[in-house]
Structure 1
Amino acid sequence: MSAGGGTKAIIAALLANLGIAITKFLAFLLTASSSMLAESIHSVADSGNQALLLLGGKRAKRHATPQHPFGYGRERYLYAFIVSIVLFSVGGLFALYEGIHKIQERHPIDKWQWVPVTVLVIAIILESFSLRTAIMESNHVRGNTSWVKFVRHSRAPELPVVLLEDIGALLGLVFALFGVGLTLITGDGLWDGIGTIMIGVLLVAIAVILAVETKSLLIGESATAEHVDAIAKAITAGPEAERIIHMKTLHIGPEELLVAAKIAVHHDDSADTIAHGIDTIEKRIREAVPIARVIYLEPDLFSAARAAADPTPKPVE
């Protein structure tokens, strides 16, 4: 995924959430609705999350140093993980607390009754535009992949995070509208509390999904199956290597891939021939998979007995 696409979606979501947060908080001050307060905090948390994603993207562009020889690309994963923590603690847990408190001390919305409904409807419209931007940017890189697989297997965290946040924001607004609407109709603040709890459960669920997915990226994930297959074909496409003995890949950033492979060379190749062959293979790999930035190829002689005893997973050839 290009960083530009992710940045555009993040900025669209940030602008929408800042405006929505202000209007929701004003509605809470006028009506004392717990659903509006929960949604205000939700939008503030989302705004902070988008700022974190922008910060992570900026810090990830720093050049490699002796202390961090592979660069800072994985900072984008770190900040996406922090987003899940913020969404869980600030958004979800606060909404659950506020909803339970509202049910214990329920009261109707007896002033400015039109304000929360108007604010929520406008917020739904604005969030729909933000979600539309995220969907359009995701479609540029998603291809034929399903939305579930895109969120689960994308190596770039920004668009999946923004997508889940925008979907959560829209559902949260619907839940708030449900709670506020029934409170206005029945005069019972119980529904306001129930709507708030529904928002809290939703945010906690989304935060858990984000945490699980970004934790996997932080630990280190291999290249996608398509990239692994393309790299394997690039290695064996010419006469330089007889076969791949074993190969490992690792994302050192969303758009940076480390490739390490032990390749079998011909028994009678000279050192000069082997060195030239490795350079040729590296060129083919970078042409096939441009994000393969760091490549280590180790020449060796193939031994069937040693290969059978090696537990390392072998690539598909």
Structure 2
Amino acid sequence: MAEILKLLKDGNKPSLLAAGVNAFLGLIKGIAFFFTGNVAMFAEMMHSLGDAANQFFVYIGSALSKKAPTKQFPSGFGRIVNLVCLFAVIIVAILSYETVKEGWHHFIHPTGESKGMLIALGVLFIGIILEGTVLAKAGVEILHEAGQEKAGISTIPKAFAYLNRAKPATKLVFMEDLVATGGNVLAFGAILIAHFTGWANIEGLVSMIIGCMMFYVVAKVFLDNARGVIGETDEEMLNHIAHLVLDDPNIKDIVRLEVIKEGEFLHVELVAEADANLSLAFLDDVRDHLTEVILSQKGVSKVAILFDEDDGKLEWKHIGNRPANSTLEQ
């Protein structure tokens, strides 16, 4: 139990915060839907409840992924977070379908203007504030994980540029809360339009739009985490580490270099060529130095290095220009 509690303390904080906020919003939106009968509010209730369940599972997965390797699982448990994200999007997919179906029904057979407009608008306004706050915090976390400074009011736009460098859990929270904030704004507008124009179909239309936005998150998160489960190469970090390795004067060439994403971490496997006249003791010192350098790079948790005899040919082709900044380094 002590180990589980310790792991939970290291879980992804933005996902836990988002889960709590969305559970609260799902509750008050459900109450508002009960009193108003507003189908846009129903869509937002489903959206918030789906996000709450999703993000809670992601928090658990991010915590368990930090469990230390064992004899039975020597590569560790990093990919658990990807598996949990895949499971979580199934829940969102089901709720997305229900949201679109209910929106279509209301669009074809509108029930007239909903009751309790002020209640619905008040709840949605609270949702915009809370979801926007979580979105901003997730944006700050993305910048932190990418080694960037906070950007104030431009944090959210700036976070888009570094979204692919974010941890799976943080990326999911950012995307879900981006859609959730947008959904709240759309639902807010739909209620006002329905009230002032009498076009009740707008609420069903917006419900379908919100459902489709949820489906987009499902597709994006599914593809990202499916690649993570299989084992995806981090091309940018691979290029960066190749430069660091070839900067060592004792390394003549790289035979093989793999930088594999293991959940929130990176595992590096390197086979390098060195002068055959170097002693084993000297090569061991070179290995220790390279291991220390590579482990100091952001996100790298495991390094395995082997040496081969130099054949006199430089064959490593994957290396490009050195990154212009040091954001990949800790």
* TM-score normalised by the chain length of structure 2: 0.82
Closer, same or farther: CA 27–155 of 1 in aligned 2, 3 Å: closer
Contact 1:259 1:295 (C-alpha < 8 Å) held by counterparts: yes
Corresponding residue for 1:294? 302
| CA offsets 1:170-217 (integer angstroms, 9 cap, x no match) | 111122123222222233431221111111111112222222222222
1:206 to 217, 224, 227: 217
2:47 to 42, 48, 63: 42
Contact 2:14 2:138 (C-alpha < 8 Å) held by counterparts: yes
1:103 to 103, 107, 112: 107
Deviation at 1:44, TM superposition (A): 0.4
Corresponding residue for 1:147? 159
Alignment of 1:103-182 (within 5 A): 103-142=107-146, 143=148, 146-151=158-163, 153-154=164-165, 156-182=167-193
- Matches of 2:102 and 2:42, distance apart in 1: 8
- Matches of 1:195 and 1:133, distance apart in 2: 27
Contact 2:29 2:42 (C-alpha < 8 Å) held by counterparts: yes
Closer, same or farther: CA 199–284 of 1 in aligned 2, 3 Å: closer
Deviation at 1:230, TM superposition (A): 4.1
Deviation at 1:100, TM superposition (A): 0.9
Contact 1:260 1:295 (C-alpha < 8 Å) held by counterparts: yes
Corresponding residue for 1:53? 58
- Matches of 2:13 and 2:299, distance apart in 1: 21
Corresponding residue for 1:243? 253
Contact 1:6 1:137 (C-alpha < 8 Å) held by counterparts: no
| CA offsets 1:48-99 (integer angstroms, 9 cap, x no match) | 0111111102211222122211111111122223333322222x21111001
* TM-score normalised by the chain length of structure 1: 0.85
Alignment root-mean-square deviation, CA? 2.7
Amino acid at match of 1:272: A
Deviation at 1:219, TM superposition (A): 2.1
Contact 2:272 2:308 (C-alpha < 8 Å) held by counterparts: yes
Contact 2:239 2:318 (C-alpha < 8 Å) held by counterparts: no
- Matches of 2:253 and 2:242, distance apart in 1: 9
Closer, same or farther: CA 5–136 of 1 in aligned 2, 3 Å: farther
Corresponding residue for 2:311? 303
- Matches of 1:276 and 1:121, distance apart in 2: 61
| CA offsets 1:265-302 (integer angstroms, 9 cap, x no match) | 21222333333432333233324x26433222222123
Contact 1:25 1:40 (C-alpha < 8 Å) held by counterparts: yes
- Matches of 1:296 and 1:81, distance apart in 2: 29
Contact 2:143 2:162 (C-alpha < 8 Å) held by counterparts: no
- Matches of 2:227 and 2:166, distance apart in 1: 10
- Matches of 2:63 and 2:13, distance apart in 1: 14
Amino acid at match of 1:295: V
Gaps of 5+ in 1: none
Gaps of 5+ in 2: 1-7, 150-156, 323-330
Contact 2:113 2:198 (C-alpha < 8 Å) held by counterparts: yes
Q: Which stretches of structure 1, 4 residues or more, deviate above 4 A after TM superposition?
A: 3-6
Closer, same or farther: CA 282–133 of 1 in aligned 2, 3 Å: closer
Amino acid at match of 1:219: I
- Matches of 1:181 and 1:5, distance apart in 2: 43
- Count how many residue pairs are aligned between Structure 1 and Structure 2: 306
Corresponding residue for 1:9? 14
Percent of paired sites with the same residue = 22
Amino acid at match of 1:123: G
Amino acid at match of 2:305: L
- Matches of 1:130 and 1:284, distance apart in 2: 35
